[in-house]
A and B are shown apart, each in its own frame.
Chain A
Amino acid sequence: MSLRPRIKLPESTRPGEIIEIKTLISHIMETGQRRDKDGKPIPRRIINAFRATFEGQEVFNATLYPGTSANPYLVFNFKVPGPGELELTWVEDGGAVTSERIKLNIEA
C-alpha cells in the first residue's frame, strides 16, 4: 500500500509530558454505499483500523467505519514515559498495512 501518512508531533519532549499527535493519511474511504454509473455497487475500501504503540505498549487505537471522512485525520494524546520509539499503524480493508516509526527526541 503506497500510502503516505503525515504525522505531526512536538520536536522534543520530556518524560511525564502529555503531547499531541496529529496524523493524516490520504485515502478515499470508499463507503461501499455508492454505485458506479452502470448502477453496480462500488465495493467498500476503507482504512478500518489505526494503532499507536510505544515500545510495544498500546497508547491509542481507532476502529474506523465508512462514517469517517476520506483522508482520515486523527488527533490524540500521549503521556511520554521516557525515551523510546512510537509506532503508528494503519490497516486497510484487505489487510494491507502502512506503518511508521518515530523516535522521540527527549530533552536533556
Chain B
Amino acid sequence: MKRLHHMSVVARRDVLVGAGAAAMLMAFGRNVLAQAPKVDPATPVPSLFEQALEEILGGAKPLTAKVSLEIPEIAENGNTVPYAIAIDSPMTETDYIKAIHVLSTVNPLPHVASFGFTPLSGRASVASRMRLSKTQDVVILAELSGGKFIISRRTVKVTIGGCGG
C-alpha cells in the first residue's frame, strides 16, 4: 500500500491501472473507479482530498489561521481518534462561525464530518472521534458567516490503521 503516498503526484488513473489495482479497488470501492475521469495520464489528477477541499471552498482562498485543535500527535488506534476543535470568534447574528469541516488527506474517503453552528451555539466548538487509515494530515476548514474560510492542518501519526482495513 506504499503507493498511496504518491497519490497527489502520480495520476490516480495510472495508479489504478498499475499492479496494485486489486488493493486499490478495496480502498476506493467500485463506484469511484468507474467515475475516474478520462484524462491524459500525464496530467496530475487532484487527490480525493484535494477534490473534497475544492468542493467546499468553491474557488475561495482560505486564510491560514490558528485554530485550536486537540488531537493526539500519535494515535495508537486509527479506528477512534478523539479530537476537539475550538475557534475564537464572536457568535452574534452578524458575525459567527458558520461551519467547521474536518477532512483527512489520505483516508479512502476524505470527509470526516461537517459541523454547522448558529449564534445559539454560543461557541464555535465541537469534539468528536475520527477514523484515520494511516499516518496523515487532518485538515480543519472553518467557514465564517461573511463567506471567508480559514484553514489549519496537523499531522497525526497512526500506529494501527482504522477504516476497517
Contact = CB atoms under 8 A, between A and B. Distances in A.
Given A33-B164, A35-B26, A67 B120 contact: no
Q: For the complex, would chain A's binding face be called helix, strand, loop or mixed by DSSP majority? A: strand
B123 interface: yes
B122 A69 contact: no
B121 A77 contact: yes
Interface in A30-73: 31-35, 41, 54, 57-70, 72-73
Contacts of A73: 127-129
Contacts of A34: 164-165
Nearest to B86: A77
Contact of B104 (A31, A67, A81): A67
Which of A35, A54, A66, A69 counts the most chain B CB atoms within 10 A?
A69
Interface stretch (B4-12, B106-114, B146-154): B106-114
Interface stretch (B13-21, B38-46, B76-84): B76-84
A18 interface: yes
Contacts of A106: none
A41 B128 CA distance: 27
B27 interface: yes
Interface size class of A (residues with CB under 8 A): 20 to 34
A18 B90 CA distance: 13
A93 B116 CA distance: 19
A33 B163 contact: yes
Given A41-B29, A67-B109, A76-B115, A59 B127 contact: no
B109 A33 contact: yes
A18 B122 contact: yes
Contact of B108 (A19, A33, A58, A61): A33
A73 B26 CA distance: 27
Contact of B127 (A35, A54, A69, A75): A75
A74 interface: yes
Contacts of B108: 33
Interface of B: 26-27, 29-30, 79-81, 84, 91, 102, 104, 107-123, 125-131, 162-165
Given A60-B117, A77-B125, 19 more contacts: A31-B109, A32-B29, A60-B115, A60-B126, A62-B113, A62-B115, A63-B114, A64-B113, A67-B102, A67-B104, A67-B112, A67-B113, A67-B163, A69-B80, A69-B129, A69-B162, A76-B125, A77-B121, A79-B120
13 contacts: A33-B164, A41-B30, A54-B120, A62-B113, A65-B113, A67-B102, A67-B130, A69-B80, A69-B129, A69-B130, A69-B131, A72-B128, A77-B125
